[in-house]
Amino acid sequence: MKFFVDTANIDEIREANELGILAGVTTNPSLVAKEGVSFHERLKEITKVVSGSVSAEVIAEDAAGMIEEGKELAAIAPNITVKVPMTLEGLKAVKAFHDLGIKTNVTLIFNANQALLAARAGATYVSPFLGRLDDIGHDGMQLIATVAEIFDRHQIPTEIIAASIRHPLHVTDAALNGAHIATVPLQVLKQLVKHPLTDQGIERFLADWNKTK
Ligand code: E4P
């Protein structure tokens, strides 16, 4: 499983990129709105830092509008992936982007049929939202497992991005259940590194080393 960082904050993206494990970035309208900057300018900045996939979401609700917006986004840099919501109009747009050779990430996936339809329309990625399913008492991780099994059984090349990740256990379980990618907030990415025994071990090694002086 690869790691994307889930943010539109350029400092966070730089920090994640320096870790040497970053394969891409996902943004969404809420994350961009928090930044208070021009979306296109921010995407230019991000694509200069990160060479992997950078997801940029369309706002239009009709296929024609999505296609127009998506073409503009894709023209910003070759590594832009157009993020399209899971709707009937979104499916039409995904097919059009596929035919144009533009990569897509179908977002707001909450059941397996949505993922299968998106894949069949030609989506490069699908994004099941784990955390938001957990929030309403459903099992977000089960959705990852089901989609992974369907894609595997039918040899579907679309990659699964485990999205709406809230804590380190989501990351481990997403990897175990067949997600190809986890898109993770920087704060959770940093939590993955931490273990009290690692910190204690470093302290002890240093203390012993200093005794030899
Ligand atoms: C990423 O592609 C999604 O937009 C993001 O993970 C959603 O996360 P949230 O449910 O925490 O807003």
Summarised one tens digit per residue, pLDDT across range 18-28 is 999 999 999 99
The arithmetic mean of pLDDT across residues 192-204, rounded, is: 97
- pLDDT of 63 strictly over 90: yes
- Cα angle 87, 157, 40; round to 5: 55
The CATH number of whichever domain residue 198 belongs to comes to: 3.20.20.70
The radius of gyration computed from the CA coordinates of the chain, to the nearest angstrom, equals 19
- pLDDT of 176 strictly over 90: yes
Query: What is the position in ligand 1's atom list of the atom closest to the CA of 132?
Result: 10
Q: What is the pLDDT of residues 125-145, one digit of tens each?
A: 999 999 999 999 999 999 999
- Residue with CA closest to ligand 1 atom 11: 164
- pLDDT of 213 strictly over 90: no
* Distance (Å) from CA 179 to ligand 1 centroid: 15
Boundaries of domain holding 111: 2-211
Q: How many domains does the chain have?
A: 1
- State what percent of residues in the chain have pLDDT above 90: 100
Query: What is the position in ligand 1's atom list of the atom closest to the CA of 185?
Result: 6
3-state secondary structure of 111: coil
Name the band, by pLDDT with cuts 50, 70 and 90, for residue 174. Answer: very high
What φ, ψ does residue 166 adopt, rounded to 5°? Answer: -115, -20
Q: What is the pLDDT of residues 87-119, one digit of tens each?
A: 999 999 999 999 999 999 999 999 999 999 999
Q: How far apart are CA 70 and CA 88, in angstroms?
A: 16
Is 95 among the catalytic positions? no
The arithmetic mean of pLDDT across residues 141-167, rounded, is: 98
3-state secondary structure of 8: coil
* Distance (Å) from CA 50 to ligand 1 centroid: 19
Q: What is the mean pLDDT of the chain?
A: 97
Provide residues with CB under 6 Å of ligand 1.
6, 26, 28, 107, 127, 129, 131-132, 163-164, 183
**Residue 121 and residue 91 in contact, taking contact as beta carbons nearer than 8 Å:** yes
Residue from 2, 71, 83, 211 carrying the catalytic annotation: 83
